[in-house]
Chain A
Amino acid sequence: MLGFVLKRLLQAIPVLLITSLLIFVGMRLSPGDPAAMLAGNDASAETIAAVRSRLGLDQSYATQYLKWLGALLTGDLGRSMVSGLPVSRIVGERIAPTLELATGGLVASLLLGGVLGTLAGLQPNSLLDRMVSAVAALGLAAPMFWTGMLLVAVFGVALKWLPPAGRVPFSQGLGAALASLAMPVATLAIANAPVIMRFLRDSIQETRRADYVRAAHAKGLSKTVVARDYIVRNSLIPTVTAAGILLGNLIGGAALVEIVFSWPGMGSLLVSAMGNRDYSVIQAVLLIAVFGFVFANLIVDLLYGLLNPRIRHADQH
């Protein structure tokens, strides 16, 4: 198992290096001169040059990239090109809200998708199965930010049950924090639970036809026992791969959901940094998102290996 973990960790390194290079080059190719923006509208050429050299933007790309990478390893994300504040501080304030949102979205999607997928899978072509499938198809088709807007219009504005926008930190009371989290999390879950639901449903329907399930029935085991111990348990394994897809959707989707709910996370930070051409902040947010995504996929991979020894062993050959 340790070898499997180490191998997966080593495989992640080149991906992280290439993505960091892509992000760096991409940001340097962007239109607009951050030095000119920072220096102001009526700045002279000398002032702009001074700002450029202060930011290190007059050095070669290779030097800039290596410096940036070296600083990254020490946790230094540079300074915002707009406010001059350390990027690690700006980003640091935004990580917790986004993690809250993404974790809530993940848990809600797994629960909702898990329950509906199991019910639909165990009763193929029943009314319930068809209803669940139809709802899942709708959830996958509706743009996430629109679903969020509809929830705001109904529960925030018309019924006034929940705050229409903004985040209440957990330090200011559990109830208020959960109330502010409810709609953004529901929005993520409506769009993402269908992914889990479909995987699980198909997986269960396939497992139902397996020989060992027929053998279990033939032995005279009760339907409940067969469903619980034979079908659902074995169907959960392939569903873990769906969690990988889910994580990408959640990280990207969180950006839009944060805008809809004025949630002070990384997504809204990215969009505002984009407006200011704040390269160092954009770079940092993209990098953290990619690292988070790669890391999360690594965990999914490891979990998969842990649940399914066949994968772990096949990998060693």
Chain B
Amino acid sequence: MPTSTERTSRGRRGFVIAVVFLLIACGLALLAPVLPFAPYTKMTTARLMPPSFNAWFGTDQFGRDIFVRTLWGLQVSLVIAGAAVLTSLAIGVPLGLVAAYFGRWSDSLIMRGLDALLAFPSLLLAIGVAAIIGPGAVSATIALGIVGVPQMARIARGAALAEQQGLYVDAARVVGVGPLGIMASHLMPNILAPVVVQATLYFAIAILTEAGLSFIGLGVQVPRPSLGAMLSDSRAYTVSAPWYALAPGLTITAVVLALNSAADGLRARLDPQR
């Protein structure tokens, strides 16, 4: 049976591997425009070719390099999911703080309103929002941003409720700091740990949901590649080009896996009691 030190070091190794992988993947995806790859739209006569030295993950039905398109698709996923996380933070955290700080009717109003959002299965909510605004990158971002709000607000509220009991909050109030000041400069920094963990977890969920949205055609539109749309396209070639679906699918899985491991590692670091 491994000792607890061995376990910790294994956990730390997993965390480091996850973070390094994320840095490399994000770097490649975000730098795709300046890296010396063919443009993602470049069509060739080499259609549906298996993986080779020239095209590491093969080519698609228009002879485009699947590896290059996967990188661009990952870039889209990262940007949309990242912006969605920021949106849910920007709306959810203040709502949670206000609910916790003022309590009573503002708490009930905010939390019951968010309960109504939680009553939608998240993918259906995202589909609904994307349908209202129309398909595209912006609407996918807004949809995913909204979907993330209730959970983010709950986490912020829970942490703020606990922090409010702290003497330093009373002290700040006594010396005349107003509600806004207490929330922004006293509560906010102290609830960051659980919020950061939740943001990392939601980043992973947002990437999965974005892939789902673009799989059914509600994500970023052609000619921009997206991982979900590539997977959707590949369904027509399951027999003739079975490798088509590998690169986009593996990419999503690996990035989500790394984000989940990073969140676990962050939780262990930031919140040693749990």
Contact = CB atoms under 8 A, between A and B. Distances in A.
Contacts of B215: 143, 145, 256, 259
B260 A248 contact: no
**Chain B interface mostly:** helix
B238 A252 contact: no
A256 B132 contact: no
B202 to A, nearest CB: 14
B131 A146 contact: no
Nearest to B209: A252
Contacts of A256: 123, 212, 215-216
User: Which of B121, B228, B249 has most chain A Cβ within 10 Å?
Assistant: B121
Interface in B116-157: 116-117, 119-124, 127-129, 131-134
B24 to A, nearest CB: 17
B35 interface: no
A192 B30 CA distance: 31
Nearest to A275: B217
B20 interface: no
B124 A251 contact: yes
B216 A271 contact: yes
Contacts of A255: 123-124, 127, 216
B231 A252 contact: no
Given A19-B116, A259-B215, A270 B127 contact: yes
A153 interface: yes
B113 interface: yes
- Could you say which of B217, B239, B248, B249 has the most chain A C-beta atoms within 10 Å of its C-beta? B249
A14 B116 CA distance: 8
Interface residues of B, number: 46
B208 A143 contact: yes
Contacts of B121: 248-249, 251-252, 289-290, 293
A303 to B, nearest CB: 18
A150 B124 contact: no
Given A27-B132, A143-B208, A149 B127 contact: no
Q: Which bucket holds chain A's interface residue count?
A: 35 or more
Contacts of A153: 238, 242, 245
Given A26-B128, A137-B260, A149-B234, A19 B249 contact: no
Interface stretch (B59-67, B179-187, B250-258): B250-258
Contacts of B242: 153, 157-158
A38 interface: no
Given A255-B124, A293-B121, A30 B131 contact: yes
Interface string A1-38: 00000000000001110110011001101110000000
A72 interface: no
A282 B131 CA distance: 10
A287 B216 CA distance: 20
A142 B253 contact: yes
Nearest to A266: B124
Contact of B238 (A140, A142, A149): A149
Contacts of B239: 157
A270 to B, nearest CB: 7
A253 B123 contact: yes
A87 to B, nearest CB: 17
Contact of B120 (A146, A150, A290): A290
B253 A141 contact: yes
Contacts of A30: 131-132, 134
A149 B113 CA distance: 37
Given A146-B252, A149-B249, A157-B239, A141 B132 contact: no
Contacts of A177: none
B109 to A, nearest CB: 11
A84 B61 CA distance: 38
A152 interface: yes
B253 A143 contact: yes
27 contacts: A15-B115, A18-B113, A18-B116, A19-B116, A19-B120, A23-B128, A27-B132, A30-B134, A125-B1, A137-B260, A140-B260, A141-B260, A142-B252, A146-B231, A146-B248, A146-B249, A149-B249, A150-B245, A251-B124, A255-B124, A255-B127, A256-B216, A274-B131, A274-B218, A286-B124, A286-B128, A290-B119
The 7 tightest CB contacts between A and B, nearest first, are A252-B123, A252-B121, A141-B257, A146-B249, A18-B116, A141-B256, A248-B121
